[in-house]
């Protein structure tokens, strides 16, 4: 189900049409991304029951505080704050640093040389043990404070975390998280991280070209690369479908095929849930 007006685009997926479905939600995760919010509701046993996505157009600020404040207050799945298990952020600025090169102060200085950091931004540090690396992201401080005020018991993590958990130990695997205007892309080969980046795109070619470039630079035959894509709503399926022209056999993040528009978002929610 989708509803669009001049200000926002709202989409809802339910595992089944059932009036009692909302009453069965006992665990929730939320994903904040530039100009959008995805909320997923799970049962007590961890079964995904529903997805609610709301986004707004790029004629408004990238992290509009009023948008998130309103949804945090009025989104039905977020009504019971105690149910929120994890809050994830898809940043527009990030840096991954191998453990052997990591130093907190030095890494922040390096980060500031690569990205423009506002005085109202906060730099957050995360250790990814599986990748043997530290991950830095920059997020407006009012967004992080809004999360802490509303969900002080929830785990806060970058959305890319799932791409660094349960890393495939054999073969070449590319993982892409596709939102309305950005993609978080990662390439592993035989368990080794070769590349990670978050960048803007307008069409599938903008994702395919840098991915093919890094594959070729690492002398990996393109046909040997498994490409796994997640989305944040049904709308993202168009981009993923177009991307399959360059990478036949493309699957969801958890390795399943696409039969409708929601599989990418379903896969994303389930993978994020395991990280919370």
Instruction: Calculate mean pLDDT across residues 102-107.
Output: 95
Residue 49 has pLDDT above 50, yes or no: yes
Residue 4 has pLDDT above 60, yes or no: no
Give the model's confidence band at 6: pLDDT under 50 very low, under 70 low, under 90 confident, else very high. Answer: low
Residue 17 has pLDDT above 90, yes or no: no
Location of each CATH 3.30.420.260 domain in the chain: 161-275
Q: Hey, is 129 helix, strand or coil? A: coil
Extract the tokens encoding 89. Answer: 């952020």
Q: What is the reported pLDDT for 3?
A: 53
Separation between Cα atoms, residue 130 and residue 162, nearest integer Å: 11
Measured distance between the N- and C-terminal CA atoms of the chain, rounded to whole angstroms: 27
Let me know: does 237 contact 264? Beta carbons within 8 Å: yes
Residues whose CB falls within 8 Å of the CB of residue 62, separated by 6 or more in sequence, listed in order: 34, 35, 92
* Residue 253 DSSP label: T
Q: What is the reported pLDDT for 64?
A: 95
Separation between Cα atoms, residue 156 and residue 179, nearest integer Å: 19
Location of each CATH 2.40.128 domain in the chain: 2-89
Longest alpha-carbon distance in the chain? 54
Let me know: does 10 contact 46? Beta carbons within 8 Å: no
Average pLDDT in the chain: 93
Residue 148 has pLDDT above 60, yes or no: yes
Instruction: Calculate mean pLDDT across residues 68-89.
Output: 96
Share of the chain above pLDDT 70, in %: 98
Give the model's confidence band at 160: pLDDT under 50 very low, under 70 low, under 90 confident, else very high. Answer: very high
Strands 225-231 and 94-98: what pairing?
A: unpaired
Q: What is the pLDDT of residues 161-203, one digit of tens each?
A: 999 998 888 999 999 999 989 999 999 999 999 999 999 999 9
How far CA 180 is from CA of 38, 48, 114, 200, in Å, comes to: 12, 22, 24, 9
Extract the tokens encoding 178. Answer: 């596709």
Least confident of 152-161, 164-173, 224-233: 164-173
CATH of domain 161-275: 3.30.420.260
Instruction: Calculate mean pLDDT across residues 7-34.
Output: 90
Q: What is the reported pLDDT for 267?
A: 96
Burial class (CB in 10 A: 0-12, 13-18, 19+), 16: exposed
Q: What is the reported pLDDT for 23?
A: 85
* Residue 82 DSSP label: G
Strands 94-98 and 27-33: what pairing?
A: unpaired
CATH of domain 2-89: 2.40.128
Residue 29 has pLDDT above 60, yes or no: yes
């Amino acid at each position: 189900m989708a509803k669009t007006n001049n200000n926002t685009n709202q989409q809802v997926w339910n595992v089944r049409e059932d009036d009692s479905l909302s009453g069965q939600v006992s665990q929730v995760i939320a994903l904040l991304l530039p100009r959008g919010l995805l909320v997923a509701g799970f049962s007590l046993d961890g079964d995904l029951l529903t997805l609610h996505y709301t986004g707004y157009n790029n004629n408004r600020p990238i992290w509009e505080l009023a948008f998130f404040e309103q949804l945090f207050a009025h989104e039905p799945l977020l009504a019971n704050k105690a149910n929120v298990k994890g809050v994830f952020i898809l940043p527009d600025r990030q840096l991954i640093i191998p453990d052997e090169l990591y130093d907190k102060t030095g890494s922040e200085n390096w980060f500031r040389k690569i990205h423009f950091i506002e005085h109202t931004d906060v730099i957050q540090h995360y250790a990814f043990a599986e990748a043997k690396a530290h991950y830095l992201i920059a997020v407006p401080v009012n967004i992080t404070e809004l999360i802490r005020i509303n969900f002080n018991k929830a785990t806060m993590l970058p959305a890319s975390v799932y791409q660094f958990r349960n890393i495939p130990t054999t073969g070449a695997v590319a993982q892409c998280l596709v939102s309305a205007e950005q993609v978080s892309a990662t390439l592993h080969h035989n368990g080794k991280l070769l590349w990670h980046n978050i960048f803007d795109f307008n069409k599938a070619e903008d994702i395919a070209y840098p991915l093919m470039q890094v594959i070729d630079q690492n002398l990996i035959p393109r046909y040997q690369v498994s490409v796994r894509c997640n989305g944040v709503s049904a709308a993202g399926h168009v981009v993923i479908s177009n991307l399959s022209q360059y990478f036949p056999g493309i699957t969801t993040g958890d390795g399943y095929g696409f039969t409708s528009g929601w599989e990418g978002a379903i896969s994303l929610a389930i993978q994020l849930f395991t990280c919370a």
